[in-house]
Structure 1
Amino acid sequence: MALGPRVLKTGIAVAMALYISKFLGFQTPVIAAVAAIFAMQPSIYRSWRYFLDQLQTNTLGAAIALLVGMAFANDPLIIGLTCIIVIMICLKMKMEETIGLTLVTVIAVLEASGQWDFALSRFLHTLVGIGSAFVINILFFPPKPNVQFLKQIDAVFNRMSLLLRTAISDEMKESSFRSEYQALETEMLSLHDKFKLFEEEIKKIKRAKYRRSRQIVVYKQMLNTLQKGLEVLETIDNHYFQSTRTPEINAAFDRHLELLEKAHELVLLKLDDKMKPELESIEQMEIENEKFLQTVMQEIHFDDGSRRLSIVAAACYEYGYQIARLDRLAGHADIEEKVTS
């Protein structure tokens, strides 16, 4: 398991929260440390949003807990009912992510049984932890979702390309193919999350100028093209080997998938400004993609077991279409930041 920046920043934020708590003379600094752990987020925007959300829900939760503590005895049943009320309020406010830390504050304040100064101290513990995480996340190794996204694009493409190039020829062991396929699905989910982080930062923190808007469009199409490639794999698994096919059909599909992967790789290299201008065109792939679909549809007899091949051919055609669309966007895109490390 890699020791990433977020792991290091969490440790630094916890240490910072404990030092500040000690400096301020807090009796139970562990609450600040717990708050720092909860508050560490994968992007600057989410850190800021989390800070504001926690400020609201913790203030409200502490106020409710203080009133309940003044009105009722420090009874486990009362504490449980108060937690239920606070959870419902957080859900109503659509701040589900703040529930865990808010409940820590509520329980800590209820321990005071109506002593407002003790309750205020517990509330300040929480704010120290949240603030420490927010500051550390900005100052140390600030998250760069776009750089992480581009790096992972390459990793996902390489794995997907290997699987597509060997899917028809059946060259990989079944166990290895399944293992790689599951890893690919997991990486695709992670890639979707990283795109969301990048999109949030552009739209919420930075002004979405034309250049930035173009980045979002291109990155979204990069993700969509990979998703179509994954769908081809799924379609092959669900329909191809269950259909009636000839050696010529097998060879045609194998060649076409090789052509699509080469074109996809070419476009990604073009986006990364690594290709010579005279080698950047994928027009031939678009022509071959049209011919391939027509040829397969002509070979299929819909009254026998080959009809399922049409589903696979359509998925391949759609994948090729999305590659061509990404290529057109790449020809006009101004990708501001490249992966340099």
Structure 2
Amino acid sequence: MKLGARMLKTGLAVAISLYIATLAGLPTPIFAGIAAVFAVQPSIYRSFQSIVEQIQANIIGAATAILIVLTLGNDPFVIGFTTIVVIGMCIKLNMNQSTMMLAVVAVIAIMESTEMEFITFALMRFSSLTLGILAAFVVNLFFLPPKYETKLFQKIDRTTSDILQWLRVTTRHLSDEPALKGEIERIQDEIRYIDQTYIFYAEERTYLKKNQYSKARKLIVFRQLIACTKKSFDVLQAFNRLGEKIENIPKNFQDALVQELDKVIHSHEKLILSSMGRIRKDHKETLRLISEPDLLRLVETLIHVYQEKEEERLIFLPLASQLMEYHHELKHLRRLLKSYQQYHQDEKFNVTPEYKK
């Protein structure tokens, strides 16, 4: 198990909230720690977004609990009824699940039986929960701020490399079917993680005008990098669906297919390296394909090969379509990278190793 930044921040927020609650003499400081767990967010932007909602949920839970205790008491069934009411109010206000759970924690914490004067007890529990929320916010703000640009690029690079390796193996009929099936499921999860990380990166705010322009262009490039990764994965899935049928293609066409796909894969790898700044700027081939794939000719040949067998020809048309789309996405990425490097010659994508979530 890898220790991620969010794990560290959660542990730190819990420790700080418990320590301060104990120093302040609040009863049952454990509720401050519980609130801190719910309040830790994956990004600074979301932390700013959520703190008002979390405090609002805490107020709703506390106020409702106090009102119910003063009117109906704190019987277990009354607590259950209050929980339902508070959840309904949170849903009405479009609060997310973790925020709703924080409101429920406030209800349970305040409606607990106590020998203290009830209002004093309720205010202390409310203060403990608020302290936990604030501690999590401070930790989100100042400790281990996430660098989603780094996370995003590294994940795109690794996932793309895995896909391209499997493409090379699959087109040469060397892949193990069960292993490839498991890898396809894993890569699907990786792509979902990439999409989520891209959202987090897009939400990060920049305050200098110069950085805003650079960030806007980086977002466009990242979006296209992801599109190319997804399209390469579509090609891999297309080969996987064909299975042994691919071996029925004439030998000369199989060789041509492997050669053209290798050109596309090489182009994709070189574009990734170029975006990382690992290819010399004075290299004439920095953003040009060394050997332009002739996928149009390949598709036409495929169609001609199966003109007499309509059913078999149609089986391979999705693969031909995926190859053409893949090549088109790579050409678009090449144009975007060339534009980015033209306007931001001294800036590279941040690929420095970073903690994982």
TM range (shorter): over 0.9
Number of residues paired by the alignment? 340
Please give the alpha-carbon distance, in whole angstroms, between the structure 2 residues aligned to 1:337 and 1:21: 42
Task: Give the corresponding residue for 1:338.
Answer: 350
Tell me the alpha carbon deviations over residues 117-160 of structure 1, each in whole angstroms, 9 at most, x when there is no partner: 21111111111111111211222211111111011111111111
**Residues 35-67 of structure 1 deviation map (CA, whole Å, 9 limit, x = unaligned):** 111222211112222212101111122111111
Give the corresponding residue for 2:233.
230
Alignment of 1:89-108 (within 5 A): 89-97=89-97, 98-108=99-109
Distance 2:113 2:49 in 1: 29
Match of 2:330 among 298, 311, 323: 323
- Measured in 2, the distance between the counterparts of 1:281 and 1:9 equals 41
User: How far apart in 1 are the matches of 2:328 and 2:41?
Assistant: 37
| 3-state SS in 1 of match to 2:294 | helix
Q: TM-score, with normalisation over the residues of structure 2?
A: 0.88
Counterpart of 1:32, as a letter, is A
Q: Is structure 2 residue 172 aligned with structure 1 residue 169? A: yes
CA distance in 2, matches of 1:52, 1:128: 13
TM-score normalised by length of structure 1: 0.92
| Aligned residue runs from structure 1 range 1-341, under 5 A | 1-97=1-97, 98-111=99-112, 115-202=118-205, 209-239=212-242, 241-242=244-245, 244-276=248-280, 277-283=283-289, 288-301=294-307, 303-333=310-340, 334=344, 337-341=349-353
Cα deviations by residue, 1:198-227 (Å, 9 ceiling, x for unpaired): 011248x88783222111111111111111
- Any idea what SS the aligned residue of 1:279 has? coil
What displacement does 1:321 show?
0.7
User: Separation in 1 of the partners of 2:160 and 2:113?
Assistant: 56
List per-residue Cα deviations over 1:234-273 (Å, max 9, x = no partner).
2222246446522233223222221111101111111112
CA distance in 1, matches of 2:299, 2:53: 52
Deviation of 1:337 after TM superposition, in Å, equals: 4.1
The answer (yes or no) to whether the contact 1:112–1:119 under 8 Å persists in 2 is no
Identify which of structures 1 and 2 has the higher relative contact order when contacts are C-alpha pairs closer than 8 Å and 6+ apart.
Answer: 2
Task: Assess, with a 3 A threshold, how the Cα gap between structure 1 residues 117 and 63 changes in structure 2: closer, same or farther.
Answer: same
Percent identity at matched positions? 30
Aligned-residue offset at 1:186: 1.6
CA distance in 2, matches of 1:110, 1:248: 78
